[in-house]
């Protein structure tokens, strides 16, 4: 439900900005994705990314991020570990490249692989001890236009 309100605010922003302006929205992968993957939380509601994808079609570019390993800052308990798994897209990319970071375009060539049922994706900081893995339900290639890959994450310090 919250994502519908976010979508409505974005539409208002788009309608009130000059038509030649670009609107950039930074948010969590599971809010911006073109297909609502995390239905366990969203339930019958859509992510605002899916609303945007339906409303703006090719004018909406969805960029997701995925980290292979490292730590993240939780804000409450300091730094926590990023979960690793053989089916996590960050682990798959990291195993098959030496690059420290990169961009994977979710085009027709990549979509067939990304949309396999076994693929999981990282989900943030719910339990503060480690990240969670979410089954992408065979939709990862359809959920994003681009995935930014980062091999190692190191949290910032305060």
pLDDT at 157: 59
Determine the Cα–Cα distance for residues 93 and 151; give it in Å rounded to an integer: 9
pLDDT at 68: 93
Q: Cα 66–106–126 angle (5° rounding)?
A: 25
User: What is the residue-level pLDDT of the chain in tens, covering all 158 positions?
Assistant: 789 999 999 999 888 887 777 888 899 888 999 998 887 766 788 999 999 999 999 999 999 999 999 888 766 667 778 888 999 999 999 999 999 999 999 999 999 999 999 999 887 655 556 677 888 889 999 999 999 999 998 876 55
Listed residue (120, 116, 3, 10) closest to 60, CA to CA? 10
Instruction: Mark 90-116 as b/e (b = at least 16 C-beta within 10 Å).
Output: bbbbbeeeeeeeeebebeeeeeeebbe
**What does pTM read for this prediction?**
0.86
Topology annotation, domain 62-158 = EreA/ChaN-like  fold (3.40.1660)
Listed residue (94, 95, 105, 96) closest to 150, CA to CA? 94
**Who's near 116: CB < 8 A, 6+ residues apart?**
138
Q: In the chain, what are the domain boundaries?
A: 1-61, 62-158
pLDDT at 42: 64
Residue 114, CA atoms < 13 Å, CB-side half-sphere: 22
**Who's near 94: CB < 8 A, 6+ residues apart?**
68, 69, 149, 151
Element (H, E) at 133: strand 132-135
């Amino acid at each position: 439900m919250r994502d519908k309100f976010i979508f409505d605010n974005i539409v208002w922003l788009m309608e009130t900005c000059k038509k030649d302006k670009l609107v950039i929205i930074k948010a969590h992968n599971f809010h911006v994705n073109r297909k609502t993957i995390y239905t366990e939380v969203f339930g019958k509601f859509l992510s605002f990314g899916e609303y945007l994808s339906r409303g703006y079609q090719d004018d909406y570019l969805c960029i997701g991020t995925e980290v292979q390993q490292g730590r993240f800052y939780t804000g409450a308990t300091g730094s926590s570990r990023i979960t690793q798994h053989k089916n996590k897209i960050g682990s798959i990319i990291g195993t098959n490249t030496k690059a420290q970071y990169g961009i994977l375009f979710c085009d027709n060539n990549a979509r067939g692989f990304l949309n396999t049922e076994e693929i999981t994706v990282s989900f943030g900081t719910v339990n503060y001890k480690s990240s969670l893995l979410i089954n992408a339900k065979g939709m990862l290639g359809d959920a994003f236009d681009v995935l930014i890959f980062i091999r190692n994450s190191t949290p910032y310090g305060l």
